Chain A
Amino acid sequence: MEFIQTLLANELVVSIFLSLLPLVFIIVYALVVLYTEMKVAAHIQDRVAYMRTGWHGLLQPIADMLKLLQKEDIIPDKADKLLFRLAPIIAFVGTYAAYAVLPFSSIYIGSNINLGAFFLVAVGSLVVVGILMAGWASNNKWSLFGGVRSAAQMISYEIPTAIAIIIVVMITGSLNLQDVTKFQDGGIGNWVVFGGPLPWSQKLMLMPFTIITFFILFVSSIAEVNRTPFDLPEAESELVQGFNTEYSGMRFAMFYLSEYANLFTVSAVGVALFLGGWSSPFGTFMSGPVWGIFWFVAKAYVFVLIQIWVRWTLPRLRVDQLMYVSWKVLTPWLFACLLAVGLILVL
């Protein structure tokens, strides 16, 4: 007991412990999403997916993980070995850094910095560099194409994401995600997607624009995590998994984990900015720090489910269509929303 107390007194140990919490969460959550994704994909295609390992294949993700961990780690002979080893680490660091500012609950947030939303946009670029590095270091044409496509795509879609975040910041008046969440506390009506806790006249005027903004943020977040219909960087059928063609074993697992962690991040950002974060949809009913974690994760999980559903429905876009959607549809519409929201808030 005394040992634990001295440990808890040590600032360094406590901060390391707190910063490792999201890692545990990511691993558990990745297993859950892996299972969900396989099951949903299978049932959409009228299959049943794995059934043998445990009840309805519940242990399969664990088996998959163990398999990946003990697989041989192959580094191609002609690869740039240093960069090849570094790439998955950088990609994962970029993903994990975003968890520092996610408000999981009213009492737990990795780092309650004042520029949380801004930080989220910035660290996403680390993932881009990691993927570019992986694509180049593999010394493989598919990988290089995948890496370059991924970078072009993520940079293009960062712009709609950033503008959508700016629109929310204009309404809430803060870049701190904890403040943004507190702003929306107190029931479903106070969520930013429905205009936030403003007077009814403003709220009704804001609502169409916030809903469009939210929808666009959702679309661009799918593009940012490289999932179908925006999975050009991976494109199994044309690029053979793109930038991770040459990766195997542990390093591949890191890319995989990074992808799933990113999936949660973008969903969580949408939830924190538009859907009230950890606040309960029923006002004070079922609210509190622990319920906060539940609401936050549950809302984000619903979004992950929708992304999985979209993935197994839609075919892949062409490269020019991808750029068309970002530059000619999403961005101009968001600029219009930005202008409209600004005017309404000034009124």
Chain B
Amino acid sequence: MDLYTIIFYIFAVITLGAACVVVFSRNIVRAAFALLFAFFGVAGIYVFLLADFIAITQLLIYVGGILVLILFGVMLTSHQIHVDTKTGTVQTLPAVMIVSALAGTIIGIFWSTDWNVSSQLKIMDKTAPQIGELLLTKYLLPFEIASVVLLVALIGAAMIARREKKPKD
């Protein structure tokens, strides 16, 4: 087993362990913090997939943005911190159906993918310029639509956050 395999397994264990804590922890803040390690582990695995840009974006967006947002949400609703989250099972039948469908899809993709890519894939020197070029040529429409959606979300957030003007009487 070479060094890179060991590091890969370390990242895998971090990701899965942290994900288990997220799911099973009764303390909601701890679950939120465990997400940090899950995101971090996933970023590490992206590096192993030679997707350095995605790995760093994962860190920036998920750890720097989404995780902090979740933590803010948890901390600002402070009265819920010490309440144990419900982990009992409700509505067993629909849950089993949905989960098995999801699992089936993932396993199906897992089996149908040709995993032996290392011989085909040449190590790309610079990923960022290529991603940029593709985004502005081949995938221009999805890129622009995503930006418009984000803009709409921004305006909506500003709208909600704005103080209502009191009607003059």
Instruction: Spell out A's residues near B (CB within 8 Å).
Output: 11-12, 80, 82-83, 86, 90, 113-115, 118-119, 121-126, 128-129, 132-133, 136, 144, 148, 151-152, 155, 158, 175
Given A90-B36, A118-B56, A136-B29, residue A129 in contact with residue B127 (CB < 8 A): no
For A175, list chain B residues within 8 Å (CB): 128
B30 to chain A, nearest CB (A): 7
The CA-CA distance from A119 to B59 in the complex, in Å, is 9
The CA-CA distance from A171 to B126 in the complex, in Å, is 18
For A114, list chain B residues within 8 Å (CB): 52, 125-128
Q: Which of B29, B64, B125, B127 contacts A158 (CB 8 A)?
A: B64
Taking A82-B30, A83-B29, A126-B36 as known contacts, 19 extra A-B pairs with beta carbons closer than 8 A to each other, sorted by chain A number, are A12-B3, A80-B27, A114-B52, A115-B53, A115-B128, A118-B53, A118-B60, A122-B60, A122-B64, A124-B64, A125-B64, A126-B59, A126-B63, A129-B36, A129-B71, A148-B75, A155-B64, A155-B68, A175-B128
B26-66: contact bitstring with A at CB < 8 Å (1 yes, 0 no)?
01011001001000000000000000110011011001110
The 8 closest A-B pairs by CB, nearest first: A125-B64, A122-B60, A122-B59, A122-B56, A125-B63, A114-B126, A118-B56, A119-B56
Q: Is the CB of B128 within 8 A of A132?
A: no
Does B143 touch A at the CB level, under 8 Å?
no
For A121, list chain B residues within 8 Å (CB): 60
Given A115-B52, A121-B60, A148-B75, residue A128 in contact with residue B68 (CB < 8 A): yes
Chain B interface residue bracket vs A: 20 to 34
The CA-CA distance from A125 to B43 in the complex, in Å, is 14
Does B67 touch A at the CB level, under 8 Å?
yes
Q: Is the CB of A136 within 8 A of B75?
A: yes
Q: Is the CB of B75 within 8 A of A144?
A: yes
For B57, list chain A residues within 8 Å (CB): 122
A97 to chain B, nearest CB (A): 9
B1-12: contact bitstring with A at CB < 8 Å (1 yes, 0 no)?
001000000000
Which residue of chain A lies nearest to B64 when distances are taken between CB atoms in the complex? A125
Q: Is the CB of A148 within 8 A of B68?
A: no
Q: Is the CB of A80 within 8 A of B71?
A: no
Q: Is the CB of A125 within 8 A of B75?
A: no
Residues B53-94 near A (CB distance < 8 A): 53, 56-57, 59-60, 63-65, 67-68, 71-72, 75-76
Q: Is the CB of A123 within 8 A of B59?
A: yes
B153 to chain A, nearest CB (A): 16
Which residue of chain A lies nearest to B35 when distances are taken between CB atoms in the complex? A129
For this complex, 21 residue pairs linking A to B, each with C-beta atoms less than 8 Å apart, are: A11-B3, A80-B27, A80-B30, A90-B36, A114-B52, A115-B56, A115-B127, A118-B60, A119-B56, A121-B60, A122-B63, A128-B64, A128-B68, A132-B68, A136-B29, A144-B75, A148-B72, A151-B68, A151-B72, A155-B65, A158-B64
Which residue of chain B lies nearest to A119 when distances are taken between CB atoms in the complex? B56
The CA-CA distance from A82 to B33 in the complex, in Å, is 11
The CA-CA distance from A152 to B53 in the complex, in Å, is 25
Q: Is the CB of A83 within 8 A of B63?
A: no
B36, B64, B127 pick with most chain A CB within 10 angstroms? B64
The CA-CA distance from A115 to B125 in the complex, in Å, is 11
B52, B71, B76 pick with most chain A CB within 10 angstroms? B71
For B63, list chain A residues within 8 Å (CB): 122, 125-126, 129
A310 to chain B, nearest CB (A): 26
